[in-house]
Amino acid sequence: MEPWIRAQLAQPSTWRGLFLLLTALFGITLSAELQAAIPNLAIALLGIWEALRKGSRFGEPGA
C-alpha cells in the first residue's frame, strides 16, 4: 500500500484534488504560490520521515 500512496502523492492531480476538498469542506482559500509550495513541503517531510525511521538493512528484501 505504501508504494501506491507514494505514487499518488507524486501526481499533481492528487494535490489539486486535496486542495479542492479542503476548500469545499472548510472554506479554506489558498494562494497559487502556497498551493505550489505545499507539495514541496510534503516531499521534504516524507524525506525526513524516511531518513529518521528505522528500516531494514540496505539491499534486503522489503527494505
The amino acid sitting at 50 is E
pLDDT at position 57: 66
Q: Which bin fits 53, alpha (ψ -120 to 50), beta or left (φ > 0)?
A: beta
pTM of the predicted model, to two decimals? Answer: 0.46
Instruction: Per residue of the chain (63 residues), give pLDDT as tens.
Output: 788 888 888 888 888 888 888 878 887 777 888 878 888 888 888 888 878 877 666 666 655
CA distance 15 to 4: 15
CA distance 16 to 6: 16
pLDDT at position 13: 83
Read off the C-alpha cell for 42.
Answer: 510534503
